[in-house]
């Protein structure tokens, strides 16, 4: 049980780190095509809430499109992880882990006992 909780917590933390890296790198590379270096750092540091304070007019449209494309890449990472786990799950196979109840064995009289009539009746 502890391994399950650890795996869920570690997987979430790892996935968050990977997607944050993909988002930041994608946003920086897309913005660097249209804006000079220091401006890109200023836009990325502003975050999603402060974007309208650092970009105006046509620049705002370019920045919002870059944000949209970067979020798309994050969803592609989530899709790839989901598909990878789905394939891994199919490869693990199906094992029945339920405990089996012991079978009740009935005593069957021997052939000789039936012919002679010496079988006990219950």
Helices (H), the chain: 2-32, 37-46, 51-54, 58-92, 111-116
115 within domain boundaries: no
d(CA 55, CA 61): 9
Output 79 or 36, whichever has higher pLDDT.
79
Structural domain total, the chain? 1
The pLDDT tens digits of the residues spanning 63-92 come to 999 999 999 999 999 999 999 989 988 887
Distance from C-alpha of 51 to C-alpha of 17, rounded to nearest angstrom: 22
Domain annotation covers residue 109: no
Instruction: Extract the tokens encoding 60.
Output: 């705002």
User: Which span out of 1-5, 85-89, 100-104, 111-115 was modeled with the highest average pLDDT?
Assistant: 85-89
* 80 domain residue, yes or no: yes
Query: Is a pLDDT exceeding 60 seen at residue 94?
Result: yes
Range of the domain at 22: 2-94
- Binning pLDDT at 50, 70 and 90, where does residue 41 land? confident
Domain for residue 14, yes or no?
yes
What's the pLDDT at 19? 95
């Amino acid at each position: 049980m502890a391994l399950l909780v650890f795996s869920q917590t570690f997987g979430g933390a790892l996935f968050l780190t990977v997607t944050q890296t993909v988002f930041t790198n994608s946003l920086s590379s897309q913005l660097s095509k249209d804006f000079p270096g220091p401006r890109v750092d200023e836009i990325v540091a502003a975050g999603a809430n402060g974007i309208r304070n650092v970009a105006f007019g046509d620049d705002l449209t370019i920045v919002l499109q870059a944000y949209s494309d970067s979020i798309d890449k994050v969803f592609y990472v989530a899709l790839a992880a989901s598909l990878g786990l789905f394939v891994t799950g199919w490869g693990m196979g199906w094992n029945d882990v339920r405990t089996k109840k012991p079978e009740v064995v009935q005593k069957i009289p021997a052939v000789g006992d039936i012919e002679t009539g010496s079988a006990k009746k219950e």
